[in-house]
């Protein structure tokens, strides 16, 4: 256990940008979440204060192939800066090419790399959370990204899990290797791939990594199970990590960032919006997302997954809930919003865990994957990625 953290005295996290140091203050980062952290969602979160907001993950290969959908996925929101993009690649050359493209075309200010995906269709091919086990391949990918980003002054960071399973943890070695290669920070979601979202993020492992990386001077960001401003403070206090990464806690609750800013500044204030206010956020989310997709139909389809999160804990008739989950136009949404009866925020339920809770399972790996960690694996799977 690290000594207690005094709110208001938490050091900002420095992101070394080409234009100078950017202070992430307080050191709170929106986690990349595939299918969620697009520009509209980031805008809603950014408006609540806090530091840095990472894009949905895009595959490096899709980026260099200039697939229109991928190019749209890295577009910043209005006034968004620094622009932070998460890349996924299993190939050092493809990673290098993607980072170079981002640098040459000034497409982002910060690049994060995904080594945490536990989804079977990715780990089956050796990607995501399975990849750091092949230590030479991991170092080659990280090294090529850092090297390619350097001439453009773009900081590169990595995000990882503990490893494949409790018998094959990789985070200590992989994080040290990434630190030695020059990443700006290491973010740790302290679960193994086998755990998926089961159990609790192992904050003690975050503390161990903080100690392990201390001699390198590279900060560790902690991730997993922050549902309130106080949780954010507790993670810093218990682990000594330099900042926190927020995923599921802000689903349907972008104001969690406001609570985190308050908690980190020592202000005792928790935002508890009435349903009338949540209604306005839902409407704004809809407008932003329709504009982003340039399609009312597509935007509303994408919005559906957020509806249950916004309404979680409120007293809403099940038929009305169902209709929110099938919304297909802005006028339909507005009509549904008018049918919501105003009520106070359901504090007891609203602050409980939300989003994915999938149970653990054995990780599917390529044949013989665990035989030799030094083998320079040759894998091809970037098209298979779907986030996570
Ligand atoms: C819907 C969803 C999509 C995700 N997509 C990604 C991703 O693309 N890249 C990534 O590194 N992590 C991804 N994650 C993992 C989160 O970034 C985060 O590590 C995880 O949710 C644990 O943090 P939390 O407890 O705050 O949610 C995803 C998580 C969820 C719930």
- List pLDDT tens digits, range 223-240: 999 999 999 999 999 999
Q: What is the mean pLDDT of residues 167-183?
A: 98
Q: What is the pLDDT of residue 386?
A: 43
Q: What is the pLDDT of residue 351?
A: 84
Give backbone dihedrals phi and psi of 52, rounded to 5 degrees, phi first: -135, 145
* 59 CA → ligand 1 middle, Å: 16
Q: Is residue 30 predicted with pLDDT exceeding 70?
A: yes
What residue segments make up the domains of the chain, in order of their start? 13-271, 275-344
Fold of the 275-344 domain: 1.10.1200
Same CATH fold assignment for domains 13-271 and 275-344: no
Q: Is residue 16 predicted with pLDDT exceeding 70?
A: yes
Of 28, 30, 31, best ligand 1 pocket probe by most atoms within 8 Å of the beta carbon: 31
The alpha carbon of residue 60 and the mean position of all alpha carbons in its chain are separated, in whole angstroms, by 17
Q: What is the pLDDT of residue 51?
A: 85
More reliable by pLDDT, 351 or 252: 252
- Average pLDDT over the chain reads 93
Closest among 134, 137, 110, 101 to 30, alpha carbons compared: 110
Helix axes 229-239, 203-213, angle to 10 degrees: 50
- Quickly list H helices, 312-370: 318-324, 330-338, 347-350
250 is an active site residue: no
Q: Which tokens sit at 324?
A: 């929110």
Q: pLDDT band for position 94 (50/70/90)?
A: very high
pTM: 0.95
* 285 CA → ligand 1 middle, Å: 20
Q: pLDDT band for position 380 (50/70/90)?
A: low
- Quickly list H helices, 52-134: 60-64, 68-73, 92-104, 120-123
Atom of ligand 1 nearest to the CA of 224: 25
- Quickly list H helices, 74-184: 92-104, 120-123, 135-149, 171-181
When mean pLDDT is compared across 35-39, 177-181, 285-289, 374-378, the lowest value belongs to 374-378
| Among protein residues, the one whose CA lies closest to atom 18 of ligand 1 | 247
Cβ neighbours, 10 Å, residue 309: 16
In this structure, the residues whose C-beta lies within 6 A of any atom of ligand 1 are 31-36, 57, 86, 114, 116, 159, 189, 223-226, 246-249, 355-356, 387-388
- 324, 311 in Cβ contact below 8 A? yes
Q: What is the mean pLDDT of residues 202-220?
A: 98
| Among protein residues, the one whose CA lies closest to atom 1 of ligand 1 | 33
Q: In terms of CATH architecture, what is 13-271? A: Alpha-Beta Barrel (3.20)
Atom of ligand 1 nearest to the CA of 57: 8
- The percentage of the chain sitting over the pLDDT mark of 90, rounded to a whole number, equals 86
* Cα–Cα distance measured from residue 299 to residue 233, given in angstroms and rounded to the nearest whole number: 35
Q: Is residue 1 predicted with pLDDT exceeding 60?
A: no
Q: Is residue 144 predicted with pLDDT exceeding 90?
A: yes
Q: What is the mean pLDDT of residues 119-134?
A: 91
- List pLDDT tens digits, range 40-67: 999 999 999 878 999 999 999 999 999 9
């Amino acid at each position: 256990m690290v000594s207690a953290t005094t709110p208001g005295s938490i050091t900002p996290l420095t992101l070394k940008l080409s234009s100078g140091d950017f202070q992430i203050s307080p050191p709170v980062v929106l986690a990349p979440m595939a299918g969620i952290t697009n520009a509209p969602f980031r805008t809603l979160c950014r408006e609540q204060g806090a530091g840095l907001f990472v894009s949905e993950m895009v595959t490096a290969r899709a980026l260099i192939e200039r697939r229109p959908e991928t190019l749209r996925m890295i577009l910043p929101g209005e006034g968004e800066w620094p622009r932070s993009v998460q890349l996924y690649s299993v190939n050092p050359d493809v990673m290098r090419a993607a980072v170079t493209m981002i640098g040459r075309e000034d497409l982002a200010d910060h690049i994060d790399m995904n080594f945490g995906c536990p989804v079977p269709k990715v780990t089956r091919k050796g990607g995501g959370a399975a990849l750091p086990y092949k230590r030479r391949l991991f170092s080659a990918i990280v090294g090529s990204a850092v090297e390619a980003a350097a001439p453009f002054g773009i900081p590169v960071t990595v995000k990882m899990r503990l490893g494949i399973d409790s018998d094959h943890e990789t985070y200590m070695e992989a994080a040290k290797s990434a630190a030695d290669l020059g990443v700006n920070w290491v973010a740790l979601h302290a679960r193994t791939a086998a755990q998926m979202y089961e159990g609790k993020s192992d904050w003690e492992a975050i503390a161990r990594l903080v100690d392990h990386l201390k001699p390198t001077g590279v900060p560790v960001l902690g991730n997993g199970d922050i549902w309130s401003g106080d949780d954010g403070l507790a993670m810093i206090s218990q682990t000594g990590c330099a900042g926190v990464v927020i995923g599921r806690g802000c689903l349907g609750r972008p104001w969690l960032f406001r609570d985190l800013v308050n908690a980190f500044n020592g202000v005792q204030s928790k935002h508890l919006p009435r349903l009338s206010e949540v209604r306005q956020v839902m409407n704004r989310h809809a407008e932003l997302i329709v504009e982003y997709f340039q399609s009312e139909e597509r935007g509303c389809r994408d919005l559906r997954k957020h509806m249950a999160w916004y309404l979680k804990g409120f007293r809403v008739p099940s038929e009305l809930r169902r209709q929110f989950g099938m919304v297909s136009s802005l006028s339909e949404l507005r009509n549904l919003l008018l049918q919501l009866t105003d009520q106070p925020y359901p504090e007891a339920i609203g602050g409980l865990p939300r989003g994915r809770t999938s149970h653990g399972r054995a990780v599917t790996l390529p044949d013989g994957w665990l035989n030799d960690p030094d083998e320079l694996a040759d894998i091809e799977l970037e098209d298979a990625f779907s986030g996570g």
